[in-house]
Structure 1
Amino acid sequence: MAVDPRRTALGLGRFGLGARPGDLVRAEPIEEVLRREILSGLVPLPGGPDLSAAATLLSALQAEEQSRKLARAASPDAPMPEGPPAPPIQERIYQAEVAARLGLARDAPVGFVERLVWFWANHFTVSVVRGAQLRVSAGAFEREAIRPHVLGRFRDLLLAAATHPAMLIYLDNVASVGPNSPAGQRQRKGLNENLGRELLELHTLGVDGGYTQADVTALARILTGWSVLRDGHAEGLPGATAFRRGAHEPGPVTLLGRTYLDIGPEQLRLALDDLATHPATARHVAFRLARHFVADDPPPALVARLTRTFLDQDGDLSRLALALIEAPEAWDPVQRKIRSPQEFLTATLRGLALAPDPRMVTGGLAALGQPYWSAPAPNGYPDDAGTWASPEGMRARLDLAARTGQLAAGTDPMALAEAVLGPLATDETRTALRRAESRPQGVALVLMAPEFQRR
């Protein structure tokens, strides 16, 4: 198969993280590159603090800080340490996770699998906006619950995400107690339905998936007892997932017409297995995947093809990814999707071969409205052009492009356009670059070109 330079440029933007210098000159079709990345089964793992260590360290340092406060109170005349105070431990862990994610994005040859990680992490959102516990564990959630399963089966991804400590904390399952359980009778506590509701509405069936409020309550009952260890003992370290039998609602539960016996933690696993293979789940996942990669209003034929693949392949996500890149609708030459802020900033760093500074990136994404793991609600960051292409959003992008142009003042704008856009660059963009008053302005024009903003 002959190599089509325009298709290569399109594929690197639509399915990857953006072209780096030299990436548009390839000896094999981009479809084969993407297919090989999927079939390799390799999902890069970033270096970063693991969850249990982070939770333990947080507890230790909080205790250390409390000891220092007590010592200062006992010795008010003791000299204070010189220099600025160290950032809080949760901020240091968050920045370490950001740096690890940036390193993978910078070094990925194409980045299709990395994009899948981002997609699924947003599908199963946990957010640092809920406080310090999430700030130290959101990155670990992506590393531990999402990455190992993005090329595996959806049922395994669903179980890992639903029972990860970060999800149990984020959607308040740690506060959910079976009303008729020993703990519920003793403490007079009850159900929290947040996780049960979002598992049905967002993670599996979808809002129109045919479930009722009774099903939400039923799944919440099944989820009781799934919590997080507060103290280390034989079951694990602080911060680890634990099933607390004494807080679990006793008795069988009927969910979507099927009854699940009270057999401990297996009750949840069986219920999630059935949700993972439900036809409504297949349709919901297929639609969201097609919307993310291809168009805000995805072609019905593409959604139908992905739905069939999901069902026929028992939720095999590698087969689903292959079906996506093999679908003719996915290669529409019109760039219908606007890059999200994270995609835009990553493509900028890759195209200019800039070494990312985690704090600079964090500040830039905050200005653009999409900091890492910081979605305002459980439905994740929006995935439509209307959100990201607002007047305020585009002004923020223009400011970032201008600042980046100053950082890359030695870059030839025409060479940059050839490197990151190639045949996608329009005559209008090339004319604007020739008229640029300076190299920094020219770089900013490349970054703000419609061909670069869209994928």
Structure 2
Amino acid sequence: MATPPPARPCPQYARSQAHFWHLACQIRCAIKNSYIFFQYVWRSDPPNTRTFYSNSRRIEVVTMAASKSKALRASLVFHRFGLGAKPGGLARIADDPAAALVAELATPGVALINDPSLPSYAAACFEGAQPSPRPDAVRVVEVRARIKKHLQPEIGFAERLTLFWSNHFAMSFRKAPLLRATIGQFERDVIRPNVLGTFPQMLKQVMRHPGMIRFLDNDMSIGEESAFGLKRRVSYTENLAREMLELHTVGSGNYGESDVKALAKMLTGWSVVLKKEETPSNAGQFFYRAEWHQPGPQPFFGVTIPEGDMEQADKAFDLMSSHPATARRIATKLVRHFVTDDPSDDLVNPLVQTFLDTGGDLKQVTETLIGLERAWTAPASKYRTPYELMIAQFRALGTSLLPDEEGLLDRILVGLNQPFWDPPSPEGFSDDTADWLSPSSVAFRLDAVQQISKIIGRRKTVDPATLARGLYGGAMSRQTFERVAAGGSQLAGLTILFASPEFQRR
């Protein structure tokens, strides 16, 4: 991972530099050794359970028995499962944090962005087929809509699921103009409607999106023995097939080269509308070319899939979706994203079983996760990714950047190696804490939260101590709260708050 430039000290913060760098050391130490305050409090009370029902399905959510733990439980809901607390949020869910978490999942359309001003599938594809700067202009609009949506829900659990699944099926907008215009629409119309749906359905919709077809080079994949291939002596590409197996489904060690080749042949003809074929109504869209499709049955995972058109690949998708290795890979990634960098069997196995028992019902898999005792009692060992950190700060301050300030956010995320929709590879951005931790990145993170606090502070008066108490209550250590209160200025207090272990970690 590229090393970001060192942070530049801010003159206004000079009087609190000792606090600033002391907190930087605290954050770094907290990554290597679980932060003692959270370990002690989260483990001090015996767990209890609450029972909820979702579509007549019984869900047991582990809670903490003592009333003094209410703020801790509410804080855990916001920071482990959500995108961070908003002003007043702690008080609004404090009576029953677990119920609030379950209720958000049960809200109809909770993950959807319903904004008629955003481009439809056809409109986004059309813009992607146009010369620059039109595709980039669409991407900017999509980024704004995404951040606006992040700020709306009380908890943001469905938003976290959206980020998880968007990263699971990662694409980079830099690959082609088509991706610049459609990557936001892909997340809105393919990922968001399916985060609480089924994995097989999501997988099929992802693979029918022109962005994924173009990103993984399947748009010119032609069967050698197809009608077109026999005339032109061209061949198929394996990129999409290989990444589907390696990253999206069964994972390394659970498939062979013969499976890659068979899947690649079944995906021949899955393409996009070519430039010479474009009309205003079809430009850039997914298009299946039967004359490019490799004929004949294909041996795949020990099963012979009969000859067919698009349904041949769909049958392969079903085999991958129902494979135990896919269930384990998805379960492990979910636990790593939400709970710990070292997923253990007692956390992973229940999710695997639910995935297999329900045919990949992602809502039930998610409900199984929040029903696990260790999902609620594990120490806060995860480090917020740079993007999550910025969103949590916006939510805490109750506002985002104005359009003329958005360049700062772009620069921050580029400097912290997590630019919008631009992962370093098809594997997506890392979910391992260690990959976001280096001496320079810690300093850069602290400078970033300071810059955001400074810009928003110019137009909004915030008392840092009051905000800290409202966001965390008793879940914030007295040491951190006293440092925030003693900051000496709004900027210093906010910077100490957002640089604290409680805010940086989840």
- Tell me, yes or no, if structure 1 residue 229 matches structure 2 residue 273: yes
Pick aligned residue for 2:490 from 416, 439, 443: 439
| Counterpart residue number, 1:376 | 424
Residue 89 of structure 2 aligns to which amino acid in structure 1? D
Distance 2:228 2:148 in 1: 45
Pick aligned residue for 2:96 from 22, 25, 29: 29
Distance 2:286 2:449 in 1: 43
| Counterpart residue number, 1:393 | 441
- Tell me, yes or no, if structure 1 residue 45 matches structure 2 residue 96: no
Q: What are the superposed Cα offsets for residues 107-165 of structure 1, whole Å, 9 maximum, x if unpaired?
A: 12211111111100000111112132211111111112211111111100011112211
| Counterpart residue number, 2:32 | none
- Tell me, yes or no, if structure 1 residue 320 matches structure 2 residue 365: yes
Residue 56 of structure 1 aligns to which amino acid in structure 2? F
Distance 1:7 1:57 in 2: 46
CA contact (8 A) 1:41 1:151 kept: no
Q: Provide the secondary structure at the position in 1 that maps to 2:304.
A: strand
| Structure number with higher relative contact order (C-alpha < 8 Å, ≥ 6 residues apart) | 2
Distance 2:312 2:128 in 1: 33
Closer/same/farther in 2, CA of residues 50 and 113 from structure 1, 3 Å limit: same
Pick aligned residue for 1:303 from 344, 348, 354: 348
Q: What are the superposed Cα offsets for residues 49-86 of structure 1, whole Å, 9 maximum, x if unpaired?
A: 22321232354x53xxxxxxxxxxxxxxxxxxxxxxxx
Deviation, structure 1 residue 233: 6.4
Residue 395 of structure 1 aligns to which amino acid in structure 2? A
| Counterpart residue number, 1:424 | 475
Pick aligned residue for 1:249 from 283, 288, 294: 294
Residue 164 of structure 1 aligns to which amino acid in structure 2? H
Distance 1:211 1:324 in 2: 27
Q: What are the superposed Cα offsets for residues 297-341 of structure 1, whole Å, 9 maximum, x if unpaired?
A: 123201011101111111100101111111111112521111111
| Counterpart residue number, 2:256 | 212
| Counterpart residue number, 1:413 | 464
| Counterpart residue number, 1:240 | 285
CA contact (8 A) 1:39 1:318 kept: no
Q: Provide the secondary structure at the position in 2 that maps to 1:24.
A: helix
| Counterpart residue number, 1:79 | none
Q: Provide the secondary structure at the position in 2 that maps to 1:259.
A: strand
Residue 124 of structure 2 aligns to which amino acid in structure 1? A
Distance 1:254 1:233 in 2: 38
| Counterpart residue number, 1:130 | 175
Residue 224 of structure 1 aligns to which amino acid in structure 2? T
Distance 1:374 1:226 in 2: 24
Pick aligned residue for 2:149 from 99, 104, 108: 104
Distance 2:333 2:183 in 1: 22
Pick aligned residue for 1:200 from 240, 245, 256: 245
Q: How does 1:132-171 map to 2 (within 5 A)?
A: 132-171=177-216
Distance 1:55 1:199 in 2: 23
Distance 2:487 2:378 in 1: 28
| Counterpart residue number, 1:71 | none
RMSD: 1.8
Distance 2:125 2:198 in 1: 29
| Counterpart residue number, 2:135 | 90
Q: Provide the secondary structure at the position in 1 that maps to 2:287.
A: strand
Distance 1:226 1:165 in 2: 9
Deviation, structure 1 residue 265: 0.7
| Counterpart residue number, 2:235 | 190
Structure 1: any 5+ residue segments left out of the alignment? 63-86
Closer/same/farther in 2, CA of residues 45 and 214 from structure 1, 3 Å limit: same
Distance 2:380 2:307 in 1: 51
Question: Quick one: percent identity of the two aligned structures?
Answer: 37
Residue 399 of structure 1 aligns to which amino acid in structure 2? D
Q: Provide the secondary structure at the position in 2 that maps to 1:4.
A: helix
Q: Provide the secondary structure at the position in 2 that maps to 1:345.
A: helix
| Counterpart residue number, 2:16 | none
Pick aligned residue for 1:345 from 385, 390, 411: 390
Q: How does 1:38-77 map to 2 (within 5 A)?
A: 38-42=105-109, 43-47=111-115, 48-59=118-129, 61-62=130-131
Distance 1:398 1:404 in 2: 10
Distance 1:298 1:216 in 2: 28
Q: What are the superposed Cα offsets for residues 153-186 of structure 1, whole Å, 9 maximum, x if unpaired?
A: 1100011112211000000000211111122122
Distance 1:125 1:22 in 2: 34
Q: What are the superposed Cα offsets for residues 11-47 of structure 1, whole Å, 9 maximum, x if unpaired?
A: 1111111100000003542211111222234222253
Structure 2: any 5+ residue segments left out of the alignment? 1-49, 51-66
Deviation larger for 417-426 or 7-16: 417-426
Q: What are the superposed Cα offsets for residues 78-101 of structure 1, whole Å, 9 maximum, x if unpaired?
A: xxxxxxxxx811221110010110
Distance 2:505 2:400 in 1: 23
Residue 227 of structure 1 aligns to which amino acid in structure 2? S
| Counterpart residue number, 2:85 | 19
Q: What are the superposed Cα offsets for residues 231-282 of structure 1, whole Å, 9 maximum, x if unpaired?
A: 3469x61122121100111100011111111111110111101110111100
Deviation, structure 1 residue 431: 2.9
Residue 174 of structure 2 aligns to which amino acid in structure 1? V
Aligned pairs, how many? 428
Pick aligned residue for 1:356 from 369, 376, 401: 401
Residue 32 of structure 1 aligns to which amino acid in structure 2? A
Distance 1:160 1:353 in 2: 35
Deviation larger for 178-187 or 379-388: 178-187
Deviation, structure 1 residue 424: 2.2
CA contact (8 A) 1:129 1:376 kept: no
Deviation larger for 353-362 or 106-115: 353-362
Deviation, structure 1 residue 188: 2.0
Distance 1:130 1:423 in 2: 47
